[in-house]
Structures are given as structure tokens and as C-alpha cells.
Amino acid sequence: MDEFILIFRHEDGQKLASPEQIQIWMKQTMDWIGGIAAQNKFSSGTGLPFDDARVVRPNNVVTNGPFGEIKETIGGYIIVKANSVDEAVEFAKGCPVLQGEGNSVEVRKIAKADNVH
């Protein structure tokens, strides 16, 4: 069994949801993750808030960010155990992030410690 990362991409990171909508999405997300965990396929995951975010560029240029520089943001990720990329994609299809217009879930296989994919 391999591990896959499901990356939550938001088309417009500048849009802010209401606290009520965030609460609804968080419950939906926890229920979705709970369903994956019930199959013993959840490894880990977290959200990626903007608080204290920095962007490091060549020549040691550091900016607060990534605000204003990007159209798309990464809101978080989970790592799942799956027998194939197709199984990982099936998990991704149920992600509540997909309810947002233009949002997506990127699925990638994680390289093993021996660098064999």
C-alpha cells in the first residue's frame, strides 16, 4: 500500500467565508476524514493558515505572504493510504473543498524513503 497526498487548492485565496460557513465546511471535512479513517486509510493532515506565512526567494529575499502575489492558495492537505492512485482519487472526489467554485484537490503519490516511486 502506498501513501498519497491530497492537496486542497482554492482558486481565490482572497475570498473570505463567513464564520458560519467555515463551521459547516469544517464539520463536513471532519466527517469526510472520519470516513477515510474508518477504513484505516487516513495517515495525517492539517490546514495551512496564512498566519506568520513567509515566502523565501533567491538572494535571501523574504516577504510576508503569499498575499497579493497569487491567484490560487493551498488551504491544507491530508495523507491517505491507498492501493492505487485511483483509490486515492476516489477519496478526493468526496472532499468538501470541491464545493467551492474553481477549487480542486490535487492527488500525488508520496515517494518512499528509498526514493522509489
Say which DSSP state 111 is in: P
User: Considering the domain 6-109 in this protein, what is its CATH number?
Assistant: 3.30.70.1060
- pLDDT for res 16: 65
- pLDDT for res 15: 63
Distance CA 79, CA 90 (A): 14
- Domain map (residue ranges) of the chain: 6-109
Radius of gyration of the chain (CA): 16
Q: What is the pLDDT of residues 4-38, one digit of tens each?
A: 989 888 776 556 667 888 888 889 999 999 999 99
Which helix (H) or strand (E) is 35 found in, with range?
helix 19-38
Nearest alpha-carbon partner for 95 in 15, 36, 21: 36
Distance CA 4, CA 101 (A): 24
Q: What is the value of pTM for the model shown? A: 0.80
Q: What is the pLDDT of residues 40-92, one digit of tens each?
A: 999 999 887 777 788 888 988 888 766 655 677 788 899 999 999 999 999 99
